[in-house]
Structure 1
Amino acid sequence: MAVTNPWLAGPAPTRRLDRERLEERILNLLSSQNMCVLATSGPDGPLATPVRYYHLDLALMFTAMPTSPKMRNIAADPRVSIGVFAPLVGQASSRGAQVFGRARVLADDHPEFPHYWSAFRWQSDHVERSRSLDEPPTGPLVVVAADRIVYTEHWLRRDGYAPRQFWTAK
């Protein structure tokens, strides 16, 4: 029987990528996707919400209605987990990240708002909704700077690296 990816067989390697190469792979994933699953916790228990995101370095950001369940949960407990993943075709294509951090809600008058907002691509939404590009939306903007990331990429096995890699903020 022919095996498409023989390097997937057997025990997984345990070798770690250096920080720079790991960050490059994580950024590649974040740049090539635009949807994530945001996990929050609230009085009714856990809530996993599909969210379109943008990123600036290893910080993910999104907008939301202030009255939404995810925003109520973030107000009560800012600790979140975000799952970002590429489409799965088979084991060799398995690629994703679990991002752990604290959500910060920035109003448009927050001093850090312009820094993050400059990377937020709101224009396509405005065009789709026939809104004027002369009137950018206002906040709030939710920013999650990664404290820790668990990155999975089975293709790493091919080069002798562990398919699960761990990144932590300095």
Structure 2
Amino acid sequence: MTAPKPQRRARKIAMTPEEVTAFLDAERTCRVATNGVNGPHATPLWYLWDGEALWLTSLSRSQRWADLQRDPRIAVVVDAGHDYTELRGVELRGSVEVVGEVPRTGEPNPELERVEQAFAARYTGDQVVIDGRHAWLRLRPEKITSWDFRKM
């Protein structure tokens, strides 16, 4: 896997890789932007960051899924803060890949086993939910940009 491109702008307020991981582990919702036929399409999703990849579970019969089948490029933002001096966040960019069957029916998949367990621990009280409507996407970011205005 290729390492993400280094951040070139706003390096003074950029998070360290450890701060990025801690931030992504603490927050729960991301905003996913895809390239739709009629322009950008942005939607909120739960996610899992494993330190190298961002895992998303998406309805396989959705506008987002259709967009990503046509064009797998994606931008994902996780942000937090209320006042200007509290704002912080991470943007991850790259192309997603489908992992596992579509939709997910529970076929054995060692790669998804750890992801589904971690996702369940984070969001569903340790219960892995396989509903036959969602499928997994993995984003190995080509670029990560972060900001933490508390560093100003």
Q: In the comparison of the two structures, how many residue pairs are matched?
A: 135
Question: C-alpha displacement at 1:49, in angstroms?
Answer: 0.5
- Distance in 2 (alpha carbons) for counterparts of 1:26 and 1:118: 22
Matched residue type, 2:90 = A
Q: What SS does the corresponding residue of 2:68 show, helix, strand or coil?
A: helix
Unaligned runs of 5+ in 2: 1-9, 102-106
Structure 1 residues 136 and 80, CA gap change in structure 2 (3 angstroms): same
- Distance in 1 (alpha carbons) for counterparts of 2:28 and 2:73: 21
The aligned residue for residue 85 of structure 2 is 92
Q: TM-score, normalised by structure 1?
A: 0.68
- Distance in 2 (alpha carbons) for counterparts of 1:40 and 1:136: 25
- Distance in 2 (alpha carbons) for counterparts of 1:26 and 1:152: 9
Matched residue type, 2:141 = A
Q: TM-score, normalised by structure 2?
A: 0.75
Structure 1 residues 22 and 71, CA gap change in structure 2 (3 angstroms): same
Q: Deviations over 1:39-97 (max 9, x none)?
A: 000212110001111211142112121110001111111110001001x2212211011
- Distance in 2 (alpha carbons) for counterparts of 1:16 and 1:92: 11
Comparing both chains, which one has the higher relative contact order based on Cα–Cα distances under 8 Å and sequence gaps of 6 or more? 2
The aligned residue for residue 7 of structure 1 is none
Matched residue type, 1:25 = E
Structure 1 residues 75 and 97, CA gap change in structure 2 (3 angstroms): same
The structure number with the bigger radius of gyration is 1
Say which is worse superposed, 99-108 or 76-85, in terms of deviation: 99-108
Q: Percent identity?
A: 22
Unaligned runs of 5+ in 1: 1-12, 128-132, 158-170
